[in-house]
Amino acid sequence: MTNQDDLFKKIVAHAKEYGFIFPSSEIYDGLAAVYDYGQLGVELKNNIKQAWWRSMVQLHENIVGLDSAIFMHPRIWKASGHVDAFNDPLIDNRDSKKRYRADVLIEDHIAKIEDKIEKEVEKGRKRFGDSFNEKQFRATNQRVIEHQHQIDEIHEKYADCMNRNDLDGLKQMILDLGIVCPRSGTRNWTDVRQFNLMFATKMGSVIDDSDTLYLRPETAQGIFVNFLNVQKSGRMKIPFGIAQIGKAFRNEIVARQFIFRMREFEQMEMQFFVRPGTELEWFNHWKEERLQWHLSFGIPAENYRYHDHEKLAHYANAATDIEFRFPFGFKELEGIHSRTDYDLSRHSEFSGKKLQYFDSEINESYTPYVIETSIGVDRTFLAIFSNSFKEEKLEDGSLRTVLSLPVRLAPYKIAVLPLVKKDGLPEKAREIVSILKNDWMVQYDEKDAIGRRYRRQDAIGTPYCITVDNNTLDDETVTIRHRDNMLQERVNISQLPSFFREKIK
């Protein structure tokens, strides 16, 4: 097990132990890739959604919100292409009866070769010490070059099969690469088949094909089909955006990595409608603006990178992912896509309703082009949570686990702790809670020694602890302890609101 695997396990355990995330239906042995957010998880998640909504809707006068239904007319998914093309290639192992995504088996194989490269680099680093030049080593070491060559060859074949939808080709690659089932260890594979990721359900009492509904696999289509409703009722002028936060459902074949890939998850999406011909300008605008939003949480910039798509979906003319360095490597966190007029045109065609906009500035009607920004709430939660999780060795040799969450996202901003449970200190502490609780989430805690209570607040990410002691009763002052540097300062109770207004912006 690598250090990163070990760290990830600790993060998952911490999330459960402190009431952030529980496996769903746990007392019935859980439900794969479905999770429940506990008492602190729901606060952190709501704060993330609030931060996105504020930055996208409330701070942009040309972006408005929407909350469309999860159930939608089934033809919507025909028009959007999801019925015919929202598929993953799956393959079964006949011995273990386990099901896998064929593309993931190949990607995992590539990851193993990448691991070999990293091991060579580590060996080099140890051998050459301070004089080690990693760039030069990667470019000249024979074994590294051979491994990289292997990876490039596999990538090329794999991309070709995926682009041509060549399922036999994918199976042949799995056989040629000698990929075995991780469970049974055999190569007894079935053919590769396409598997549609949408969950289907029935509406009403008549069991008939025409009643089949899908649980939406993205929130975006609810925005497209309401384009005219919002534009007309809100008298919106192009360029303008419609944003929504909501649940999405995908029957993921390979559900791994905790809340990174779930079957029920939440998205925050915004569709920005623009005049045709201006879309690439807006694409670049949103690409930059969305990255700035991520950076506003104070997470170091080196943890984010763009991954521009070279191969584009047939309806897109530009696409990029913002990737984040999760404990298991760089992975997609958000997608920004220039989707042309594909979605509105398809819905026009399938519904028979004209979805156009009259642009009075140029005296022309047209189907607007769309820039989409689409981000997973759960992936953002995982990015922020895992980046905040730290184990620190203190000067006295003890270990402290701290969740250094961005202050504005922390579930509780302040904890109020009477030093002892007597002498009128709890009553004084309760008075302070009453002063602060209308403006901030405040927790009162009187159990255990003060040191343990500080540790508990560190572990859930509370940025400030207020300690009430005997001096408080005499001079109306309290100690404020800061989570990140553990420094303490003395503040007058009457100054607390202005102190926190300044700190928690």
Q: Return residues touching ligand GAP (CB under 6 A).
A: 218, 220, 250, 252, 261-262, 265, 267, 269, 332-335, 372, 374-376, 378-379
Which residue lies nearer to ligand GAP by CB, 267 or 457? Answer: 267
Which residue lies nearer to ligand GAP by CB, 88 or 458? Answer: 88
Does the CA dihedral 162-167-172-175 come out positive or negative? positive
Q: How far apart are CA 35 and CA 376, in angstroms?
A: 14
Which residue lies nearer to ligand GAP by CB, 236 or 375? Answer: 375
Q: Nearest distance from residue 372's CB to ligand GAP, in Å?
A: 6
Radius of gyration of the chain, Cα coordinates, nearest whole angstrom? 27
Q: Nearest distance from residue 493's CB to ligand GAP, in Å?
A: 44
Q: Nearest distance from residue 199's CB to ligand GAP, in Å?
A: 12
Which residue lies nearer to ligand GAP by CB, 333 or 371? Answer: 333
Q: Nearest distance from residue 188's CB to ligand GAP, in Å?
A: 29
Bridge-based pairing of strands 63-65 and 87-92 is unpaired
Residue 409 CA: distances (Å) to CA of 99, 139, 405, 470:
38, 43, 7, 32
Surface-to-core class of residue 354, CB atoms within 10 Å of its CB (0-12 exposed, 13-18 middle, 19+ buried)? exposed
Q: How many CB atoms lie within 10 A of CB 175?
A: 10
Q: Nearest distance from residue 314's CB to ligand GAP, in Å?
A: 15
- What single string gives the DSSP state of each residue in 423-442? TTHHHHHHHHHHHHTTTS-E
Q: Nearest distance from residue 56's CB to ligand GAP, in Å?
A: 15
Closest CA to 285 of 60, 58, 52, 51: 60
Does the CA dihedral 16-18-20-26 come out positive or negative? positive
Q: Which residues contact 66 (CB under 8 A, 6 or more apart)?
A: 222, 223, 226, 230, 242, 243, 244
Which residue lies nearer to ligand GAP by CB, 307 or 408? Answer: 307
Which residue lies nearer to ligand GAP by CB, 241 or 335? Answer: 335
Structure tokens at 368: 């607007």
Q: Which secondary-structure segment (H or E) carries 104?
A: helix 102-128
Residue nearest to ligand GAP (CB): 376
Which residue lies nearer to ligand GAP by CB, 294 or 483? Answer: 294
Which residue lies nearer to ligand GAP by CB, 326 or 389? Answer: 326
- What single string gives the DSSP state of each residue in 232-296? HHTT--SSEEEEEEEEEE---SS--TGGGS-SEEEEEEEEEEE-TT-HHHHHHHHHHHHHHHHHT
Question: In this structure, which amino acid lies at residue 396?
Answer: D
| C-beta of residue 311 within 8 angstroms of C-beta of residue 159 | yes
Q: Nearest distance from residue 350's CB to ligand GAP, in Å?
A: 18
**Prior bond of 411 cis (ω within 30°):** no
Q: Nearest distance from residue 169's CB to ligand GAP, in Å?
A: 24
- Give the 3-state DSSP-derived string for 122-189, with helices as H, strands as E and coil as C: HHHHHHHHHHCCHHHHHHHCHHHHHHHHHHHHHHHHHHHHHHCCCHHHHHHHHHHCCCCCCCCCCCCE
Q: Nearest distance from residue 231's CB to ligand GAP, in Å?
A: 20
Which residue lies nearer to ligand GAP by CB, 338 or 467? Answer: 338
Which residue lies nearer to ligand GAP by CB, 80 or 479? Answer: 80
| C-beta of residue 185 within 8 angstroms of C-beta of residue 94 | no
Q: Nearest distance from residue 255's CB to ligand GAP, in Å?
A: 7
Which residue lies nearer to ligand GAP by CB, 376 or 463? Answer: 376
Give the residues across from 285 on adjacent strands.
none
Q: Nearest distance from residue 6's CB to ligand GAP, in Å?
A: 23
